[in-house]
Chain A
């Protein structure tokens, strides 16, 4: 694929999203002209681009669908569910195709064949209906209507066959419209006297004529429609033309071939007429102006800015250490500017949640059809912006949540009616910012999560003991536990119990948090909180044997200080440490990665929630809360996945950012978990 094709594919994928959006609007409001025009125009652009960059099969499909929507524009057809579905599915396939890296693959006509056939059939049905409805209707260009023409083109100016006059190329273009034979008759001066073009084509005469509109002063063209079918099928005709060798054809001979051909052909169809297209295309609302920048450039920019922030912090430290007021002033101003620079540059990488909303609308539409439920999808705050990477990573988890809402949450229309709810269920996506977090709440007004069901499942799987009486919050959090699904019947939409745990895992990876609220009979709300950027981290800076670590703030439950000696339990049967009067499995960073030389008197135990289970990390001392730019560790440290990155502190030293989930999972801690499990 060359670079032009690549750019086209990129643009076309954007267009396809716009198209989806337009189609969705059109479906909910079939009479609206604005979305109709948008859909038509977008398809038109895709058609043009696809043909131009050599993706003819996509161009052809877009053309057929465009024709359908053109009929709608002309009032010859109504928007129906069938039409919208047909279009959505067809362009889904186009989208899949465009994601292929290989041009040959994209151009695989087979893939789009079914969609093309259904579009053509749809058109045929629509045409027969519309011509039944409206007398005197003009037929849309029908691909099956072949005709053979003879064109006589006589230039009124002096040109040669190898000249650079447009007419020469127009003749070539015309001959490329179908099976053709061009006979060039030259004057003695070798200039063109006239061309005779015999062509069998699906293009109507008006289209042939249109080629000459802009050279009318330079030539005279006469048209003869010979047969309403392929005259080249008459072998004598082709033989005769080939034998001519640049001499004019004899009209009487041609007439005999025509008669022969017509004898075997029953004339069925009237002459084609062109589609009368209505005037100017409607205007589309002005969109904000954007430029496309490669992701790499933005990443580079962010990288340099994070270096700048580190340098600025060092300057601030130096300035205060040499106690120079003048330098302090400069350092403070620099701090302000770098702060703003950081905020602005982070915003560059942000995209509105809206990009997901279209996808979700589509999902809700398809799912509700599939499950035969009536569901509306509402979105609020779709202009809230998030890091592009975060959006991409969250797309699937959010799809899963919405699937669950529709599949398990929203009741069938009959059931809803019976309990006095409106027939249409509602799934709502709300997005908003708070400090350095993006909040996403996905809620539904379905039947809610059944506390009893979850509890029972949890008991079966021995996740809780029978005499426990956990709070509602704890119960609902159990849905994120691997292997717990409350659907009594597994459907192909959701409910295999894989999913919600993955959702939770993904959110943890992004250092976000998730909370579930549910009221029986009223509905469920899932509140996801994500950091604005993956590279900015809020955490606790801790000190272990003079090495600094950062523990992400989002997983921290509480902090306790206990005597250092108490975490030494290797020789005890019960390895758990009593913290805040509760037994807690504790991992001591000092014991794991350092040594017991000069231990502190006390240890700070940071309780973190990992996959719903509380665990402790023992550190020497907590130094404070900090917000900082995280930088990836080099490839050399890739294996150490319990460290998600590093950050450079104001004094130039390094702190390692811990990934608590992986810390407890990591194989180097197998020993620890083994011990813990044995003791359990």
Chain B
């Protein structure tokens, strides 16, 4: 069965680009423009989403807030979350990890690194 990845980014061209890239690799994708929207999609389709791939800096609900929401909700807490971001502050990375983040991919990324991280996270949950 195809794995589904929820891509969250407020910048539409990046979101579409990431979705395209993933689709070419054979993933199903869902898109959301911010954390709140993503959380809504996720709670509605909890069983269908295998991974959340989100930007860090977004208006309204940041990636970090989204991560906390996901990890605090027992229904969706098992869905792994990856940040895809230009942010590279180690403190932020550290606290995100403590909050249950599975991986941190820095933009711009190389596609090998990108897919290796995604596959690794989905394999190991």
Contacts and interface: CB of A to CB of B under 8 A. Distances in A.
Contact of A280 (B64, B102, B104): B64
- Residue in A48, A164, A165, A284 with the greatest tally of chain B CB atoms within 10 Å: A48
A11 to B, nearest CB: 5
Interface stretch (A166-174, A191-199, A476-484): A166-174
A315 B43 CA distance: 52
B107 A52 contact: yes
B48 interface: no
Interface string A40-73: 0100110111011100000100000000000000
A210 B88 contact: yes
A276 B86 contact: no
Contacts of B57: 41, 44-45, 281
Interface stretch (A2-10, A105-113, A243-251, A648-656): A2-10
Interface in B45-86: 55, 57, 59-60, 62, 64-65, 85-86
Contact of A165 (B90, B107, B120): B120
Interface in A505-542: none
A207 interface: yes
Interface in B95-125: 97, 101-104, 107-108, 110, 112-113, 115-117, 119-120
Interface string B3-29: 000000011111011001000000000
A169 B62 contact: no
A213 interface: yes
A52 B88 contact: no
Contact of A10 (B13, B60, B107): B13
Contacts of B41: none
Contacts of B62: 280-281
Contacts of A277: 89, 91-92
A285 B6 CA distance: 24
Contacts of B55: 48
A277 B56 CA distance: 14
A449 to B, nearest CB: 46
A224 to B, nearest CB: 19
Contacts of B59: 41, 283-284, 286
Contact of B107 (A8, A11, A51, A173): A51
B94 interface: yes
A53 B97 contact: no
A592 B45 CA distance: 72
| Tier of interface size on chain B | 35 or more
B34 to A, nearest CB: 9
A11 B93 contact: no
Interface in A171-189: 172-173
A169 B113 contact: yes
Given A45-B11, A168-B116, A284-B59, A210 B90 contact: yes
A214 interface: yes
A207 B116 contact: no
Contacts of A560: none
A678 to B, nearest CB: 62
Contact of A207 (B20, B88, B112): B88
Nearest to B102: A214
Given A11-B12, A169-B113, A51 B60 contact: no
Given A49-B11, A166-B103, A166-B120, A44 B113 contact: no
Which of B55, B88, B92: most chain A Cβ within 10 A?
Answer: B88
A96 B12 CA distance: 22
Nearest to A4: B17
Given A210-B90, A214-B104, A166 B13 contact: no
B113 A172 contact: yes
B65 A280 contact: yes
Nearest to B103: A214
B65 A209 contact: no
A105 B39 CA distance: 41
Contact of A166 (B14, B90, B108, B113): B113
A274 interface: yes
A169 B106 CA distance: 12
Contact of B89 (A7, A170, A274): A274
A293 to B, nearest CB: 13
Given A47-B86, A173-B113, 15 more contacts: A4-B17, A7-B13, A41-B57, A44-B86, A45-B10, A48-B14, A48-B85, A52-B17, A52-B107, A53-B13, A169-B116, A210-B93, A274-B90, A280-B65, A286-B60
What are the 4 closest A-B residue pairs judged by CB atoms, nearest first? Answer: A284-B59, A169-B113, A48-B86, A210-B90
11 contacts: A4-B20, A7-B17, A51-B86, A52-B17, A172-B112, A172-B113, A210-B104, A213-B104, A214-B102, A277-B92, A286-B59
